[in-house]
Amino acid sequence: MTVPRHSALVPALYRVGEVYRELPDTVTLRLVPESGRRPPYTPGQFNMLYAFGVGEIALSISGEGAEESFLHTVREVGAVSTALARLGVGARVGVRGPFGTGWPAVQDTDVIFVAGGLGLAPLRPAIRRVLAGRGHYGRVAILFGTRHPAEMLYLQELEHWRQRLDVDVSVTVDHADALWHGNVGVVPALIARTTFDPNRSVAMVCGPEVMMRFAVGALREAGVPDERIYLSMERNMKCAVGLCGHCQFGPEFICLTGPVMRFDRIASLFSTREI
């Protein structure tokens, strides 16, 4: 049977339009469709990126660029991610997607973004959306933590956000060097120091699972209801259409009902460390 081109199982061809070096082992690829238009997406969704001759991985969409392009930030941690991170301008990539659920499109609320390390990448499109429509929100806070000042992602954009007078940006590192004069410690500790109305706030959290666990605890202590806390539950997604079972999380398949999930829906699963 011939599989139609628009099938979720058939990658579309994209080319690398630009490569932005973020860190020594991390780049952002601007991927432009070779034909047609880039499909619409919701901040928080992911694509399946195929490095020809190597394999395929799931990567969150970290923004959009010129020429109807996707932005994907990738760190060299395995064979496929390393192959993608080392592509040059003009190289071809297979793309399936977008897949999954996105961050909530709320308005007239306070918004707290909590990101750890590479977790800032899936949150960046949502941050850009909120800042672009800043007048529709109350207080906005961006809380970001990383291991070391040299591992700060999107440094120029972070500085741009910090220069705005209508957003509270707090950055912390686990281990400081002699040149660092900011916060030292884990990112969940910043939540207690941030001003927001817990009864009219929405929190969006992405990062290592242990960091998200402590962030949820801090948000609950601050009075944010479980139904106003959203997490990006990254798992080892292989097919993106609920067939392979690699991303099963209790009764859920993250590629279908995630990666963004409301905490009250998964609270019982989230407290079980073996899942």
The domain limits of the chain are 12-99, 110-270
Q: What letter does residue 78 receive in the DSSP assignment?
A: S
Average pLDDT over residues 112-124: 97
The answer to whether domain 12-99 and domain 110-270 are alike in fold is no
Helix 263-270 vs helix 209-221: angle between axes, to the nearest 10 degrees? 120
Q: Hey, what CATH class is 12-99 in?
A: mainly beta
In this predicted structure, what is the pLDDT of residue 36? 85
Q: Mean pLDDT, to the nearest integer, of 44-57?
A: 96
Q: Give dist(CA 215, CA 247) in Å, integer.
A: 23
Residue type present at position 125? P
| 2, pLDDT greater than 90 | no
pLDDT (tens digit per residue) in 245-270: 888 888 888 888 889 999 999 998 88
Q: Do you know the residue count of the chain?
A: 275
Assessment of whether the complete model's pTM goes beyond 0.95: no
pLDDT at 5 exceeding the cut of 50 = no
State the pLDDT at residue 274.
57
Give the class (CATH, top level) of 110-270: alpha beta
Burial group, residue 130, by CB count within 10 angstroms (0-12, 13-18, 19+) = buried
Mean pLDDT (whole number) for 88-96:
97
Rounded to 5 degrees, φ, ψ at 153 are -85, 145
Mean pLDDT across the chain: 92
What angle separates helix 120-132 from helix 155-163, to the nearest 10 degrees? 30
Across 171-192, average pLDDT: 93
Residues of the chain above pLDDT 90, percent: 79
- In the predicted structure, residue 105 carries a pLDDT above the cut 50: yes
Scan for tokens 């609270």, then name that residue. 267
Integer Cα distance of 41 and 218 in angstroms: 31
